Chains A and B, each alone.
Chain A
């Protein structure tokens, strides 16, 4: 019985420890809280004002609450977007962005870059070639698709996207 209790507690404690570690490290700081309310007239974050010919407009596949900022263009935005601290990871510098409404965190997303700070660019000007060598290879980055300057049909064949498409076709 003692062993059962021990292993149960040990497992639960271990899980909590692992998960807690992964949910920390990004203290929320409001680096000039950016307004997230609706944009002046352009409707760029929500559906455009004219109905597309193909039928009713739906914002891309949202199954839950509408995007926090699309509706309210009032001065006091219900949700706030704050940026976390930049953290060193093995891909480079990661910065987290969090959308908060009230006390609740609505969404978290983040960006990975090899370098992001304009100032560090100047300081490391001579190191620019090194930066290039830290660029990621498509295999190790585990990407789903590739964005790049427009390719033609011929250009597609040489592109990273075509490699991904080929791998995904069964």
Chain B
């Protein structure tokens, strides 16, 4: 209980005992309205991403001569200054953006888990060392580091992912480490150590499952970071300019002076998509918080609380 104040605000209170929390957790998520909305939105985008080549066959970035057409029945979202169909570009772009976002999210979280578990289990020396490395990376200015790495490594999706993971892992590592440490101090872990369980088993079968909700939170946050940071990099022209992605769409929109010519239809869709995906993930994150921390759940009857009784 006393550790609750010291944690990050979005961390849930300490997890329940070492039962399998997953079943009720998943059930809680599905019935939660916010999570539902978020998951539906995500599923829609993932479906669009997977079906893009079917829905919009051909190369969406093919340069033709029809320039900057307004939305019309042939082009629902109009065309860019280079004659590309904006709707096709937007849907195709979801592939790259989601791919990079998810990869960065999973990679950062995975590294964070390793760091967290290693710190928690191996204790003193390794913990200090890992914590030092984490803090050094946290101290490095993120965006400038991103800009440098992205500007000068060979362009390509691999570079973008690498760069984002390098700048993003420290945040998740810190959160996961402090959570792992607090679980480490629990009795059931001490019991497992004393009863001679192997290190790997302790880390992955005892500690990790109890961090499930915060791992999920971290994962979602890292994915959001991945998508947003990729868009920022690409807007500066530092991403992989040859791929079709939301950030690159915005980059080209800026270069072709979309807003200057009043071609808002080139500029708006990709931004809205990024916002929707980030928002959907945030909703799911929100819901995870609520499910694991019952106090955060929506109160159905707000009027009568203990507060008013005191008056």
A and B from one complex: no
